[in-house]
């Protein structure tokens, strides 16, 4: 079995472990009674399916998600309102979705008990701005943050200052109403005041009746990779913390650790940062990280690494990420790509496409950040068959 095939299997096991549908279904009590469901984010469809599996299909649902991320079973279902919106930079649909959310919240009866399902991507997908602020200002802030390499906490804090919904705004609109909020976390420390720019975070100085619970995070995905490796006879070393540095720095640290470990491989979770030039090519932080990893490998070095986003989309692309090895650079150049130009101009997707190394999953139904999984081929022979999955 090839290292690439093994890495794809391990990534699939990670996605299964943090699947939004399963995570929400497991978190909701069997006797849960909610009057309405509000599902927002890139994993909103999957989370909504999990909730409807417990609550039944009669509960009204507002679903706000990224283009192309609507589950077929929800698009035309009775009682379901689907709003597809923009990500990673908001547009007029984001404001329309935000106004619809605010309108529905204000119309809730005092005894309502809504369920909120929130995942990464909410910051861009839904917004209602404070008076005096407009869409162009909001778009400029998002583009500035992406270009400057701000981490998610810094970007979300700046977004919340413009918003009537973020930074605890939904809690303010709910007032004393009871509510439950379930989160798939893609932020440091699983901070509910940061996920989705604090869409269901705590409003400062105000008591609220919102029960909050994180149902999936990147640590669970990392552990799933470790466990799946063990089922194949592989010993994988988990990172002690989430990575969050610049992509080039993460690449150097990861390759050094992969070379040094006595295990068969290494798995890290987190999110790197990139600083985009004014003009850049195809790619996102994972493909840029993957190309940085490929540049760090020595000729013929027997290491293979997957760098991918658990949501299945890397920035504005349809690529989840890539799997690279010591032959990546040569394959890209043979495919007609100037790799150094591609790296400098943040056109990593073009280089990795030329190398045949891109990974495509489509929407995954989750979003807990990014995974780095590296294997030492010489140490493993990628041992053993996978035991059959018990259904």
CATH of residue 123: 3.40.50.10180
For residue 390, being part of any structural domain is answered with no
Residue 28 CA, chain-centre distance (Å), reads: 22
Which of the listed residues 197, 216, 235 is the one where a domain comes to its end?
Answer: 216
Domain check: are 195 and 93 in the same one? yes
Section 235-240 average pLDDT: 97
**Residue 270's beta-bridge partner residues?**
243, 370
For residue 113, being part of any structural domain is answered with yes
For residue 58, being part of any structural domain is answered with yes
**Structural domain for 249, as ranges:** 3-14+219-380
CATH number where 239 lies: 3.40.1480.10
Domain check: are 61 and 208 in the same one? yes
Residues 111 and 24: their CA atoms lie apart, in Å, by 23
Domain check: are 234 and 105 in the same one? no
Domain check: are 50 and 177 in the same one? yes
Q: At a CB cut-off of 8 Å and minimum separation 6, what does 108 contact?
A: 35, 36, 114, 174, 177
How confident is the model at residue 276, as a pLDDT? 78
Assign residue 58 a region (left: φ > 0; alpha: ψ between -120 and 50; beta: otherwise).
alpha
Q: What percent of the chain is modeled with pLDDT above 90? A: 77
For residue 66, being part of any structural domain is answered with yes
Residues 150 and 143: their CA atoms lie apart, in Å, by 10
How confident is the model at residue 391, as a pLDDT? 36
pLDDT of residue 5 exceeding 80: yes
Domain check: are 136 and 227 in the same one? no
Q: Which two tokens stand for residue 146?
A: 């992406």
* pLDDT bucket at 378, cuts 50 / 70 / 90: low
For residue 130, being part of any structural domain is answered with yes
How confident is the model at residue 277, as a pLDDT? 76
Closest CA to 94 of 14, 24, 40: 40
Q: Point out the least confidently predicted range of 58-62, 94-98, 137-141, 237-241.
A: 137-141
Domain check: are 191 and 251 in the same one? no
Q: In degrees to the nearest 10, what's the CA dihedral of 274, 275, 280, 286?
A: 0
Section 230-253 average pLDDT: 96
Domain check: are 305 and 175 in the same one? no
Domain check: are 204 and 65 in the same one? yes
Section 322-344 average pLDDT: 97
Distance between first and last Cα of the chain? 24
Structurally, the chain folds into a number of domains equal to: 2
Q: At a CB cut-off of 8 Å and minimum separation 6, what does 5 contact?
A: none
Domain check: are 260 and 173 in the same one? no
**C-alpha R_g of the chain:** 21
Which of the listed residues 162, 196, 216 is the one where a domain comes to its end?
Answer: 216
For residue 36, being part of any structural domain is answered with yes
Q: Are 376 and 265 in contact (CB under 8 A)?
A: yes
Section 179-186 average pLDDT: 97
How confident is the model at residue 382, as a pLDDT? 60
Closest CA to 101 of 31, 40, 151, 23: 40
For residue 70, being part of any structural domain is answered with yes
Domain check: are 363 and 244 in the same one? yes
Which of the listed residues 157, 181, 216 is the one where a domain comes to its end?
Answer: 216
Q: Are 375 and 7 in contact (CB under 8 A)?
A: yes
Domain check: are 190 and 287 in the same one? no
How confident is the model at residue 115, as a pLDDT? 98
For residue 81, being part of any structural domain is answered with yes
Q: Which two tokens stand for residue 321?
A: 């990420």
Domain check: are 224 and 295 in the same one? yes
Q: Point out the least confidently predicted range of 118-127, 140-149, 360-369.
A: 140-149
Cis link prior to 59 (omega < 30° from 0)? no
How confident is the model at residue 141, as a pLDDT? 84
């Amino acid at each position: 079995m090839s290292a690439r095939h093994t890495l794809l299997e391990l990534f699939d096991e990670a996605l299964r472990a943090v699947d939004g549908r399963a995570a929400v279904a497991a978190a909701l009590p069997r006797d849960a009674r909610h009057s309405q469901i509000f599902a927002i984010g890139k994993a909103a469809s999957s989370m909504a399916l999990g909730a409807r599996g417990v609550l039944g299909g009669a509960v009204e649902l507002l679903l706000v998600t990224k283009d192309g991320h609507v589950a077929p079973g929800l698009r035309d279902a009775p009682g379901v309102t689907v709003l597809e919106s923009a990500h990673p930079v908001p547009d007029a649909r984001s404001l329309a979705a935000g106004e619809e959310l605010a309108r529905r919240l204000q119309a809730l009866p005092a005894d309502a008990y809504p369920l909120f399902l929130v995942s990464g991507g909410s910051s861009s997908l839904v917004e209602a701005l404070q008076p005096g602020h407009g869409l162009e200002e909001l778009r400029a802030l998002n583009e500035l943050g992406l270009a400057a390499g701000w981490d998610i906490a810094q970007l979300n804090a700046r977004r919340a200052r413009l918003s009537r919904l973020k930074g605890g705004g939904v809690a303010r609109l709910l007032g004393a109403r009871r509510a439950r909020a379930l989160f798939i976390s893609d932020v440091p420390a699983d901070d509910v005041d940061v996920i989705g720019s604090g869409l269901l975070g705590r409003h400062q100085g105000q008591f609220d009746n919102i029960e909050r619970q994180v149902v999936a995070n990147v640590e669970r995905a990392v552990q799933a990779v470790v466990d799946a490796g063990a089922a194949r006879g592989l010993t994988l070393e988990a990172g002690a913390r989430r990575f969050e540095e610049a992509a080039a720095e993460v690449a150097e640290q990861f390759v050094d650790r992969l070379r040094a470990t006595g295990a068969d491989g290494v798995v890290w979770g987190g999110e790197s940062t990139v600083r985009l030039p004014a003009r850049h090519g195809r790619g996102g932080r994972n493909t840029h990280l993957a190309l940085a990893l490929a540049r760090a490998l020595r000729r013929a070095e027997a290491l293979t690494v997957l760098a991918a986003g658990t949501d299945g989309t890397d920035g504005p692309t349809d690529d989840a990420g890539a799997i690279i090895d010591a032959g990546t650079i040569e394959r890209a150049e043979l495919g007609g790509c100037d790799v150094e130009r591609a790296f400098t101009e943040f056109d990593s997707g073009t280089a990795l496409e030329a190398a045949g190394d891109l990974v495509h999953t489509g929407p995954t139904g989750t979003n807990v950040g990014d995974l780095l999984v590296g294997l030492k081929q010489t140490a493993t022979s990628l041992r053993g068959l996978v035991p059959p999955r018990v259904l």
